[in-house]
């Protein structure tokens, strides 16, 4: 559609705005049509072009039949302002040709000229009536006065700029120029009472998830959606019954197909549907669109509900499309009796050919389209009775083959499937399609706002057509951009292939962006909701960098996760000037500077373990950690250590590093602190961690499905280093205290909700492969109840490699806000 850009520029759009308009698949063809109908192909004034653009963006479906008439009215100069165009659209809404031009002209202000004298007199009357308030509050009343004067009946069709100029002139005459009395007054801030101390973990639990997305719904296009009762119906009685059923509440629905696991895109849909209703004190249904028994499994139903609740939302009611199979069947009969549906025995290839084929040629009606109503009713009954084979016959809607919208090309309403249904068993062998089911079940459930993603934009017209055709209440469908993130795929077909061919370890593999996979990786639901809220609700599809989700994850975990000293690749340190039985019990905060998070104790002995990466045999000026002859601090330990000797085994590998404890006088404060874990068998230190799984992005390219970037297909783009395992890691004994606290607070449910910051290594959670006897841990020793400990890295710390050491120089406190992924 890029060929439309020059045309749009001709009528006054800037080149950038023209490009943006072309991207809007709804607006661009409408704007092109408006330009053609107005005779402005060779250009027009910028003012006229702006009005044509306004018409194209504001025209309603019910007034669209009058688009040529309105376009010509703008071009002729009869409609000179956006107010007139809006009034004209409102007048013509749901009116059929011919147009009563006299009534139209009166309603749209055609031919009405408001002279400067009339403007001056109307403003003078308003100022006189409000003189005392204006004199008291001076220029602070100018804005409200302008809004009020524009609503005066005698100024309805006046030029807005002229009204503003005259009002300002009369204010000046009455008040004189602005002076210090009109300067904005700074409000004195009232001192806020100090909040009571509260744990950040506790705060996180008490936050209403819907509140984090509430701000999404009062800005932008979605804020302009109709109020319940504001969407016109083919029969006013339908709206009356609808409002009686809903009490005027907003009613939305989240309608997933139970044929797979939800992905990150569904998190946006859940937030939008539940969040919009919550923001307007409404309700939301969770409706399983279970019209395809061949693909549906109980595990998907269970997972979907669990995921919705995990994200923090509770459905008003859980329903199924199959609840309405009888009502849908009866509506299909009604459609047939109105001559708007027919049984079709064409093959799939024949239907595609009649729709123009791959070359998008002319569309033609099939031989069955004019089948008599009685014959169609008889065959539809035979379909229901199981007297045809699968694929032998369908019921199609008789729509409009000449319409440019493919969603009007006689869509299939019912097909035959002999697979037993998970809820209705073999009661039915005919099943309604999505195109037939979706809008009608929305109607039956009195949905006010059917919110869906942009790929359903073309379905909006067929959605409305079917509701009107069977004369039922018609909800409003509104589309927004879906959520796409980089370096992943979300197609169920593609993920299933990766699962079946063992590229990944199931649908909940933490490298996938299925919500069960993200959850298993330890990403908190609050981070997902905050991520969606930050992105807002756009009308244009785009890819979002996955780093933005990582940032929200870090922000949440930085506030809520306890810190733990954990060593991924241990190397042994022996402090030679401390006795072998040296023991100190050190008290360590679970989170620095947050007393509400608690504390725990760890032993400090003459033998500790540090990260192998924290030692280097060859020192350099830009290296600040341990090296021969160099001094470093140990986190939370009073005195630093200095390396005196490196001991190696027969193969030349470091077996231990010998150090001196600098507890004498005159020792300078070390530049760097490193974390450690003590060797103290009687305290069970260190704790052996059976497996730590370190995850990276699954695909190398931002869009692995892009054939221009990845010509050999998405499977060839899989990152070979997307997972690595550490099996020799150890941790300090504070782990047991943290697990005990977690079990006390959560009951031990959902292992992935046990999360930590492994100091200087990242954020981690327990994996479901962990073997932890929760019941035994509740009543006994957590240490004895843990048979196998498996951790997943949720996200790395924000770490700048050029300042790798500087991050831990100030007393060993890790500030993740100063690091990068």
Dump pLDDT digits (tens) for 345-373: 999 999 999 999 988 889 999 999 999 99
Catalytic residue status for 257: yes
State the Cα–Cα distance between residues 331 and 473, nearest whole angstrom.
13
Q: Report, as an integer, the average pLDDT of 586-590.
A: 97
Residue given tokens 């005392």 in the structure block: 132
The separation between CA 674 and the C-alpha centre of its own chain, rounded to angstroms, equals 39
State the Cα–Cα distance between residues 136 and 113, nearest whole angstrom.
34
State the Cα–Cα distance between residues 150 and 97, nearest whole angstrom.
32
State the Cα–Cα distance between residues 644 and 659, nearest whole angstrom.
5
Q: Which member of 492, 559, 658, 740 is catalytic?
A: 492
Q: How confident is the model at residue 808 (pLDDT cuts 50, 70, 90)?
A: very low
Q: How confident is the model at residue 184 (pLDDT cuts 50, 70, 90)?
A: low
Q: How confident is the model at residue 159 (pLDDT cuts 50, 70, 90)?
A: confident
Instruction: Please give the pLDDT value at position 482.
Output: 93
For the CA atoms of the chain, what is the radius of gyration?
Answer: 35
Instruction: Please give the pLDDT value at position 3.
Output: 80
Instruction: Please give the pLDDT value at position 815.
Output: 33
Burial of residue 648, with CB atoms counted within 10 A of its CB: 0-12 exposed, 13-18 middle, 19 or more buried: exposed
Structure tokens at 531: 């991520």
Catalytic residue status for 492: yes
Q: Report, as an integer, the average pLDDT of 398-410.
A: 94
Q: How confident is the model at residue 95 (pLDDT cuts 50, 70, 90)?
A: confident
Instruction: Please give the pLDDT value at position 214.
Output: 56
Catalytic residue status for 745: no
What are the tens digits of pLDDT across the range 735-767?
A: 999 999 999 999 998 999 999 999 999 999 999
The beta-strand segments (E) located in 689-797 are: 691-695, 723-726, 730-731, 755-758, 762-766, 771-772, 786-788, 790-795
For 18, 480, 551, 728, the CA distances from 537, given in Å and listed in that order, are 22, 6, 19, 46
Structure tokens at 742: 């977690």
For 317, 460, 608, the CA distances from 271, given in Å and listed in that order, are 17, 21, 48
**Cβ-based neighbour number of residue 417 at 10 Å:** 17
Q: Are strands 730-731 and 566-567 parallel, antiparallel or unpaired?
A: antiparallel
Element containing residue 90 per DSSP (H, E): helix 82-92
Question: Do 765 and 522 contact (CB within 8 A), yes or no?
Answer: yes
State the Cα–Cα distance between residues 349 and 351, nearest whole angstrom.
5
What interhelical angle do 46-58 and 27-38 show, nearest 10? Answer: 130
Q: How confident is the model at residue 203 (pLDDT cuts 50, 70, 90)?
A: very low
User: Above 60 in pLDDT, residue 99?
Assistant: yes
Q: Report, as an integer, the average pLDDT of 769-787.
A: 94
State the Cα–Cα distance between residues 262 and 301, nearest whole angstrom.
10
Question: What is the maximum alpha-carbon separation in the chain?
Answer: 105
Q: Which member of 363, 482, 755, 819 is catalytic?
A: 482
How many residues are there in the chain? 821
- Read off the DSSP letter of residue 806: G
User: Above 50 in pLDDT, residue 811?
Assistant: no
Stretch among 78-87, 482-491, 566-575 having the lowest mean pLDDT: 78-87
Residue 41 or 719, more confident? 719
Q: Report, as an integer, the average pLDDT of 77-88.
A: 87
The separation between CA 724 and the C-alpha centre of its own chain, rounded to angstroms, equals 30
Q: Report, as an integer, the average pLDDT of 540-544.
A: 87
Question: Do 311 and 271 contact (CB within 8 A), yes or no?
Answer: yes
Structure tokens at 423: 């809820």
State the Cα–Cα distance between residues 259 and 300, nearest whole angstrom.
6
User: Above 70 in pLDDT, residue 658?
Assistant: yes
Stretch among 18-32, 280-294, 501-515, 565-579 having the lowest mean pLDDT: 18-32
* Nearest one of 211, 206, 204 to 275, comparing CA atoms: 211
Mean residue pLDDT of the chain comes to 90
Q: How confident is the model at residue 192 (pLDDT cuts 50, 70, 90)?
A: low
User: Above 60 in pLDDT, residue 301?
Assistant: yes
Stretch among 30-34, 98-102, 753-757, 781-785 having the lowest mean pLDDT: 98-102
Instruction: Please give the pLDDT value at position 459.
Output: 94
Instruction: Please give the pLDDT value at position 818.
Output: 32
State the Cα–Cα distance between residues 322 and 329, nearest whole angstrom.
11
Residue given tokens 């072998």 in the structure block: 580
Instruction: Please give the pLDDT value at position 530.
Output: 93
Tally of CA atoms within 13 A in the half-sphere of 389 that contains its CB:
3
pTM, whole model, 2 decimals?
Answer: 0.75
Structure tokens at 799: 């770490």
User: Above 80 in pLDDT, residue 254?
Assistant: yes
Q: Report, as an integer, the average pLDDT of 410-423.
A: 97
Instruction: Please give the pLDDT value at position 204.
Output: 46
For 466, 634, 757, 805, the CA distances from 810, given in Å and listed in that order, are 68, 12, 18, 10
Question: Do 590 and 740 contact (CB within 8 A), yes or no?
Answer: no
* Nearest one of 615, 603, 609 to 574, comparing CA atoms: 609
- Read off the DSSP letter of residue 705: T
Stretch among 203-212, 218-227, 452-461, 615-624 having the lowest mean pLDDT: 203-212
Number of continuous H segments (helices) and E segments (strands) in the chain: 27, 31
Instruction: Please give the pLDDT value at position 198.
Output: 47
Q: Which member of 64, 107, 257, 534 is catalytic?
A: 257
Instruction: Please give the pLDDT value at position 16.
Output: 85
């Amino acid at each position: 559609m890029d060929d439309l850009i020059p045309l749009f520029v001709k009528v006054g759009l800037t080149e950038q705005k023209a490009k943006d308009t072309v991207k809007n698949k709804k607006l661009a063809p409408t704007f092109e049509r408006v330009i053609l109908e107005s005779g402005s192909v060779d250009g027009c004034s910028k003012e006229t072009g702006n009005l044509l653009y306004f018409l194209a963006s504001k025209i309603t479906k019910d007034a669209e039949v009058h688009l040529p008439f309105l376009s010509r009215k703008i071009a002729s100069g009869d409609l000179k302002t956006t107010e007139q165009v809006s009034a004209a659209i409102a007048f013509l809404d749901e009116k059929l040709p011919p147009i009563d031009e006299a009534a139209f002209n009166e309603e749209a202000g055609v031919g009405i000229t408001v002279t400067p004298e009339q403007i001056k007199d109307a403003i003078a009357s308003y100022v006189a009536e409000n003189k005392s308030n204006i004199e008291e509050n001076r220029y602070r009343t100018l804005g409200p006065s302008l809004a009020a004067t524009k609503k005066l009946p005698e100024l309805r069709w006046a030029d807005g700029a002229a009204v503003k100029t005259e009002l300002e002139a009369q204010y000046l005459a009455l008040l004189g120029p602005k002076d210090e009395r009109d300067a904005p007054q700074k409000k004195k801030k009232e001192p806020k009472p100090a909040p009571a101390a509260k744990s950040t973990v506790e705060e996180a639990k008490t936050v209403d998830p819907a509140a984090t997305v509430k701000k999404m719904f009062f800005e932008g296009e979605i804020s302009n959606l109709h109020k319940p009762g504001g969407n016109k119906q083919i029969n006013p009685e339908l709206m009356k019954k609808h409002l009686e059923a809903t009490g005027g509440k907003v009613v939305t629905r989240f309608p997933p197909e139970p044929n797979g696991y939800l992905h990150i895109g569904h998190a946006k849909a859940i937030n939008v549907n539940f969040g919009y209703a919550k923001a307007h004190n409404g309700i939301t249904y969770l409706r399983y669109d279970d019209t395809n028994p061949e693909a549906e499994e109980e595990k998907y139903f269970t997972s979907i509900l669990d995921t919705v609740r995990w994200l923090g939302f509770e459905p008003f009611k859980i329903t199924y499309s199959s609840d309405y199979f009888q009502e849908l069947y009866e509506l299909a009969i009604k459609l047939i009796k109105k001559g708007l549906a027919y049984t079709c025995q064409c093959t799939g290839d024949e239907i595609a050919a009649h729709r123009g084929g791959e070359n998008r040629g002319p569309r033609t009606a099939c031989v069955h389209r004019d089948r008599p109503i009685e014959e169609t009713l008889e065959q539809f009954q035979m379909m229901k009775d199981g007297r045809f084979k699968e694929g032998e016959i369908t019921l199609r809607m008789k729509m409009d083959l000449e319409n440019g919208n493919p969603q009007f090309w006689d869509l299939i309403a019912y097909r035959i499937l002999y697979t037993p249904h998970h809820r209705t068993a073999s009661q039915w062998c005919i099943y309604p399609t999505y195109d037939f089911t979706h809008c009608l079940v929305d109607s039956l459930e009195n949905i006010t706002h059917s919110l869906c993603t942009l790929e359903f934009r073309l379905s909006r017209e067929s959605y409305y057509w079917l509701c009107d055709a069977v004369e039922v209440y018609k909800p409003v469908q509104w589309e927004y951009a879906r959520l796409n993130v980089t370096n992943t795929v979300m197609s169920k077909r593609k993920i299933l292939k990766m699962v079946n061919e063992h590229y990944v370890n199931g649908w909940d593999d933490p490298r996938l962006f299925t919500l069960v996979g993200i959850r298993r990786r330890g990403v908190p639901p609050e981070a997902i909701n905050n991520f969606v809220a930050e992105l807002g609700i756009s009308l244009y599809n785009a890819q979002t960098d996955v780093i933005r989700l990582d940032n929200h994850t870090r922000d949440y975990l930085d506030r809520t996760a306890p810190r733990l000293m954990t060593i991924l690749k241990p190397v042994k340190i022996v402090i030679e000037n401390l006795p072998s039985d040296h023991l100190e019990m050190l008290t360590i905060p679970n989170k620095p500077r947050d007393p509400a998070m608690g504390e725990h104790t760890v032993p400090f002995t003459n033998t500790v373990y540090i990260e192998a990466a924290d030692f280097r045999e060859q020192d350099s000026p830009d290296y600040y950690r341990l090296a021969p002859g160099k001094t470093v601090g140990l986190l939370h330990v009073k005195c630093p250590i200095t390396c005196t000797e490196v001991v190696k085994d027969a193969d030349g590998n470091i077996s231990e590093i010998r150090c001196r404890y600098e507890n004498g006088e005159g020792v300078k404060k070390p530049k760097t602190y490193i974390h450690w874990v003590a060797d103290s068998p009687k305290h069970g230190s260190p704790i052996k961690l059976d497996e730590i799984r370190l995850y990276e992005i699954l695909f190398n390219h931002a869009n692995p499905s892009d054939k221009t970037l990845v010509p050999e297909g998405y499977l060839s783009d899989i990152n070979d280093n997307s997972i690595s395992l550490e099996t020799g890691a150890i941790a300090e004994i504070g782990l047991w205290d943290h697990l005990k606290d977690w079990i006390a607070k959560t009951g031990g449910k959902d292992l992935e909700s046990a999360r930590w910051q492994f100091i200087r290594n990242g954020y981690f959670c327990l994996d479901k492969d962990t073997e932890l006897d929760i019941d035994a841990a509740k009543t006994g020793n957590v240490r004895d109840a843990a048979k196998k400990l498996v951790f997943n890295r949720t996200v790395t710390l924000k770490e700048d490699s050029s300042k790798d050491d500087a991050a831990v120089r100030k007393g060993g406190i890790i500030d993740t806000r100063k690091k990068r992924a």
